[in-house]
Chain A
Amino acid sequence: MPEIFVGKLWDQLVSGATASNSEDTTVLFEEIVKPASILFRALGGDQGLALKTAQSTIHQGKQNWLQQLSGIEQKVELAWCDDEALYLPASINLLPQDRLNRELYFWLAALAVEMRPGLWFIENQQATLRLLEKFPGLQARYQRLVYALLSLRPEITTLSYDSAIQEQAIYQALIKPGSISLLPSAPNPWFPIYLWFHPTPPFGGNNQLIPPKKLAEFEPSDDTQSTAKDQRRHKAERQEIQERKDGFMMFFRAESILTWAEYIKVNRPTEDDENTDAKRAADEMETITVTRDGKQTASRIRFDLDLPPEDSDETKLESGILLPEWHYKKQLYLKDYCCLQPVVATNTKTCQLPVHLAAVARRIRHQFESLTSVRTWLRKQTEGTEVDVDAYINHLVEVKSGTFKTDLQLYKTHQIQERNLSCLLLADLSQSTDAYVNNHARVIDVIRDSLFLFSEALSATADQFGLYGFSSLRRDNVRFYTIKAFAEKYNDQIRGRINAIKPGYYTRMGAAIRQAGKLLAQQTTHQRILLLLTDGKPNDLDRYEGRYGIEDTRQALREIRQQGIKPFCITIDEKAGSYLPYLFGTGGYVVIRQPSELPRQLLSLYAQLTV
């Protein structure tokens, strides 16, 4: 088949020529996300912003003839920022040295600190000026980057007159920021400016609104296979399937058969083997159209959609426990906004400790028995293991001065110090716990084992403990499962309840923390700890996601701290480093990399925390 061979060769030639840089200088977002976010915060960036990867957008800018020939629309990843996150390219390989590419990342993170709303062309220059003035150490780096990036720009002599004038202005604006106040217009758009922020950030373009309630039926299943790459936001566009009354017209319209690139019904059930295709297609697509035909989904594509959350209804809720929620943008509490339903499983079968945990439980019980006895020296005893030298000297003094007592207290002995502590373990029972952590177990199984071992261990101590779980389905249905109340004894009935836990829906963390705080506040012990066991960040179907969910959770934690309760979070979410410090502080959480290690780690952590 010579034509196929030639075709392949041609493809290689053309697309090879258009892949602009060699691979080895590529710097990936994942490599720099931590240092870049630290730099961003250090220079004064908003502590609550997360760093995410930007979705590439079509840049209708200049292309060279090979690109035009190959039909590749130039897709570029530029940085932008909204009040949820700072978006940076998923990778940068523009420049010939990886050091420079890395520096470009850091530059963008630093520039983000100074970006204000304003005219794109002016604001980028002004932000650059402000940043360089505040941190003059960046001057050399800026010059280096400008120099390197200018060399990638089109030769002015090759451009049409208008474009050349425009390009000249961009040159000037980059070399001397603040010097150009107007970008001359040209029939063709300019070549992308990688040192600046996105001229038209993908968010907010299309506002053909549909209530997110419907959209929410599209439930991103938290798939463990999903990777950091999918953190990138897809430029989502809501499109309603028009429910035409003259249905048959719709049915057979030829133009309704769309290609992948234009139409994907993400909320339909998909088979597992379609994952890769759908995912790749999603990456290729400029816009994903989300339909609202309201069917449940098992789609495994996971990404954040840029849909503005609905303006939620403010109707009062009546039954259940009403709890407030913190609205960070308004900086006020929405009173009685969440309705929490306490649930106790009554008809669960009693059960014994699972066999596979028996041996480890025995060992742990033994270890925890020794934990109760924090030993200290008790001085001046009538009998004891050692002579209390201080007491003896005292006695000699008293003998000399003739005032000694007859009941001699000259010994010291070990004392067992009483612990006075209550701990509430709050487990996240959201849908995402249905995901598999390895070939044998799901997250929920690991949590179940953790609850078993935790209870076995703590029942060997004098510490008071309660076990609760939560999941939510919007604000009016936050389920709060009582697995073991503080007053209940740990027995086969409780074991039965632990055995019966199963994945629920979503993670409205703030409400659950508030309720847990109430229960802990009723405990009279000297120290009270809330241990939160989770696998992801706060989210729910309505606007409870992203920054809103994080801020409400943060506020709830602040409330319980004020009541003297110490919160601590144990998570298996590897990306937790980006939001947990904001919620729990640096020393207030731990990320378990190997979820199967959770049961063991939980106990050693408990021991460390409470000694």
Chain B
Amino acid sequence: MTKAAIHIAAATDQHAASEVPFYQPHGDEVELFEHAYNKQLPLLIKGPTGCGKTRFVMHMAARLKRPLYTVSCHDDLTATDLVGRHLVNDSGTYWNDGPLTRAVRNGGICYLDEIVEARKDTAVVLHPLTDDRRILPLERTGETLQAPVQFMLVVSYNPGYQSFLKGMKPSTRQRFVSLRFNFLDAAQEQQVVIAETGIDLVTAKQLVKLASALRALKQHDLEEVASTRLVVYAAALIKNGFAPIEACRAALVEALTDDEEVTAALMEVVYACFGE
């Protein structure tokens, strides 16, 4: 029960804020999202860690003025955690909607982050929602909810991040309109870093160059590459007065590897961009 309680706490209701969070489009993903929303199609976003998937969904929810229900999936997440369960209080038992059910009832956007981490049985509740029926049967309460036109299901996963044998089932994957995110090109990423931290253009350029150099090491030397999020962290540290080299070490280099030799090598890349 405690675990379940934590899941629900983790599933946050973010009602349409008056302010739309900053988002730098890569290409035509904003349009695609809007079209998918209008035609009630579910959307799958795949891309590396920290490339802006979550921010994009927040941005779109605010833009479309829909409440957003975010669930971070993990390997203990079951269908019950998404749909809801009965709970007990002084006066007896009562039904508590899960985030997915709330999104359906309120006509919001339900965002399941890292969907492949969730248990396989979650697919069962998602399938009827992702085809043209758009229904959510609640076995426990005997209800069958028909999703309103405002409801949208968005899931994301990181194709490089799964463990050796984990992957998304093809039967689930092909129920979604899919969108691939990659890291932004240099100019766009500079804009993001500046917009997020207010750092000067010169430093933003250096940071982005460093990040793209580190990204060349994907697969060969590093399992994960420097995300835009980490670049923003480094920029925030520098903007706040921390020495650039040390900020890069803390926010980028040490975040990417534990191996001391690799750390030394990555620091060489930092020196190449920032000097010594």
Contacts and interface: CB of A to CB of B under 8 A. Distances in A.
B213 A44 contact: yes
A396 B213 CA distance: 61
A390 B80 contact: yes
A34 B261 contact: yes
Interface in B77-96: 80, 85-88, 92-93, 95
Contacts of B144: none
B92 A42 contact: no
A536 B273 CA distance: 36
B219 A42 contact: no
B272 A137 contact: yes
B271 interface: yes
Interface stretch (A179-187, A201-209, A346-354, A578-586): A578-586
B87 A393 contact: yes
Contact of B165 (A34, A110, A393, A566): A566
A136 B86 contact: no
Contacts of A39: 265, 268-269, 272
A566 B164 contact: yes
Contact of A42 (B87, B165, B269): B269
Q: Main SS of chain B's interface residues?
A: mixed
A110 B272 contact: yes
Given A39-B269, A43-B272, A137-B271, A393 B223 contact: no
A106 B264 CA distance: 12
Interface in B218-276: 219-223, 261-262, 264-266, 268-276
A411 to B, nearest CB: 16
A610 interface: yes
A401 to B, nearest CB: 9
A196 interface: no
A609 interface: yes
A610 B164 CA distance: 8
B210 to A, nearest CB: 9
A241 interface: no
Contacts of B149: none
Contact of B265 (A38, A135, A137, A529): A38
Interface in A536-591: 566, 568, 581-582, 585-587
Contacts of A106: 268
Given A110-B272, A400-B93, A609-B165, A47 B220 contact: yes
A67 interface: no
A390 B84 CA distance: 11
B139 to A, nearest CB: 10
B214 interface: yes
A138 interface: yes
A135 B217 contact: no
B92 A396 contact: yes
Nearest to B88: A393
**Interface size, A (range):** 35 or more
A450 to B, nearest CB: 20
B220 A582 contact: yes
B187 interface: no
Interface string A38-68: 1101111001000000000000000000000
Contacts of A137: 206, 270-276
B220 A41 contact: yes
B222 A586 contact: yes
B216 interface: yes
B274 to A, nearest CB: 5
A98 to B, nearest CB: 14
Contacts of B217: 38, 41-42
A35 B87 contact: no
B124 interface: no
Most chain B Cβ neighbours within 10 Å, of A134, A397, A566, A587: A397
Contact of A581 (B206, B220, B265, B275): B220
A527 interface: yes
B1 interface: yes
Most chain A Cβ neighbours within 10 Å, of B88, B92, B216, B274: B216
B276 A140 contact: yes
B221 A581 contact: yes
A586 B164 CA distance: 11
A36 B270 CA distance: 13
Contacts, number: 105
A216 B58 CA distance: 63
B26 interface: no
A139 interface: yes
Contact of B221 (A43, A110, A397, A586): A586
A586 B219 CA distance: 5
Nearest to B272: A135
Contacts of B93: 393, 396-397, 400
A135 B276 contact: no
A139 B216 CA distance: 22
B140 interface: yes
Contacts of A110: 272
A44 B215 CA distance: 10
Contacts of B1: 389
A394 B261 CA distance: 56
A141 interface: yes
Nearest to B94: A397
Contacts of A38: 217, 221, 262, 265-266, 268-269
A529 B223 CA distance: 20
Interface string B53-80: 0000000000000000000000000001
Interface string A96-132: 0000000000100010000000000000000000000
A391 to B, nearest CB: 10
Contacts of B140: 394, 397
Interface in A122-173: 134-141
Contacts of B92: 396, 400
B239 to A, nearest CB: 19
B66 to A, nearest CB: 31
B268 A587 contact: no
Contact of B269 (A43, A393, A581, A587): A43
A609 B165 CA distance: 8
B265 A34 contact: yes
Interface string A580-610: 0110011100000000000000000000011
A568 B165 CA distance: 11
B213 A43 contact: yes
Contacts of A529: 165
Contacts of B221: 38, 41, 581, 586
B261 A42 contact: no
9 tightest Cβ-Cβ pairs between the two chains A and B: A35-B265, A38-B265, A137-B275, A135-B272, A581-B220, A42-B213, A393-B86, A42-B269, A585-B219
9 contacts: A35-B261, A39-B269, A43-B216, A44-B213, A135-B272, A138-B271, A393-B88, A586-B221, A610-B165
Given A110-B272, A390-B85, A394-B140, 15 more contacts: A34-B262, A39-B265, A43-B272, A106-B268, A134-B209, A135-B209, A137-B270, A137-B272, A390-B86, A396-B86, A396-B92, A400-B93, A529-B165, A587-B164, A587-B223
